[in-house]
Structure 1
Amino acid sequence: MPILSLHNINKSFSGQRVLKNISFEVFKGEFFTLLGPSGCGKTTILRLIAGFETPDSGEIILENQVINSIPAHKRNVNTVFQSYTLFPHMTVEENIGFGLKMKKFSPSQIKTKVKQALHLVKLKGYENRYPHQLSGGQQQRIALARALVNEPKVLLLDEPFSALDYALRKEMRLELKLIQENLGITFIFVTHDQEEALSLSDRVLVLENGEVKQLGTPTDIYENPSSLKVAKFVGETNIFKGKILQTSGENVLCNIEGHEIELKNTKNFQTGE
């Protein structure tokens, strides 16, 4: 049973169609990634789920409820932004507890939950520091803790590691995956980084020009790309040009650079192609 479904979502900005009949499902406890180049529509999808934008047509369903018209603050969904958006005048404890304060939790409840969240992101003892006293990686952990402390049904992550250096990105990926597995919260992760997508995800949705190009496990996406464009985008690949000489049941005989090779006919190729 999916926790989140998008059905035939369309969205345009200034007359330009940026999402075209987007449909997919995300399951409870899944690490689901939206992967694609800049401008493909992945962040727009995230903003629609969060409630920051409204689709022109189609339905967004969270736990069997259509949420198109539900405002962002009433959806049980939290977002970790690319820019962290920590309040500079608040301590770490105040930043993490802000959402709980808005929900009228008691001071003692907030203190307990903040401590638990800091322990989760390995920043115990940082309660009284301010954002400017933290490194980029620590700020990212605080942004993550602030989102997780609200116990959302779905956590949205919009390229959260893009401002970090490569070594820290790799470290944070591992931590993020462990946190997600321990909590069992559904994560929807946006990235243009193929390595991030393939190493973190249970399933990956590949987007191009506002359209779904392929949905599958990282292994499916890498080993059986749906098109040449997907193959080139998802990673380092060996690509050879060839011609179909003969089809025989599930197999084809190909001429590849002067060599005749028998292959599985996974794309329903015909003789001469």
Structure 2
Amino acid sequence: MALKNVRVFFLALLFLSSSLLQVARCQVGSDVEPTEAVEEVGDLGIVGEDAQDFGDENFSPAPGVNTVCVFPKNGARVVPAGEETELLVGMKNDAGDSTLNVIAIKASIHLPFDHQLLVQNLTAQAFNNASVPASAQATFPYIFAVSKFLQAGTFDLVGTIIYEIDQNPYQSTFYNGTIEVVEAGNFLSIESVFLVTLAISLLVLLGAWIRGQIKNLSKKTKRAPKVEVGTKTTDASMDEWLQGTAYTQSLSSKSKKKK
């Protein structure tokens, strides 16, 4: 009975842990909470994420424009989930005598083995008065935050900067590589809690099974064979049925010889 109760408890605990894990994973695809638009006074003229809708339109890169990406003080490219991370985009304008006007920076998170599987679109940061003169270079900051529900692991970050030269739109990919997403400030993850709960449940079930086997073995060893002790009784009806037969005659002759 105790073993049956342990099994029922184990199944209920396993079902509850699986439900919690499934809910947490379903929330991974949810959008990041909207942040306030950033307004700074300066030469860059950062407008914010709601200034312009860039859609999914793609442009080709302009010849002679080179880009580079740096994660300041974060060479390992570790990104805490739900917290802001900053990177710097460097541009050099060798496209001729025209000035390059930066429009926006956008990025997205993808699975490493297939970039067609989009995990999250990050905030697009627009610029108002950001330009790079001919034969000059400039650096532009980009601050992003991945979803706090995103599972820790390795993902690919694809960052793109959109700009204009002579009123013609272009875009260049400044980063297309891996980042390491970690949980911010959480000692245990949902997966860790699930695995620990599952391990404890298995140990409890194994202990109950071993205890039951020991009890059954001890009961078998304590059982003693039944031995019937008593006097032999003779059935009177059997004696009457055997009277006058060779069996009774042989018995009587044996008794006479003994005398």
What TM-score range do you get, normalising by the shorter chain? under 0.3
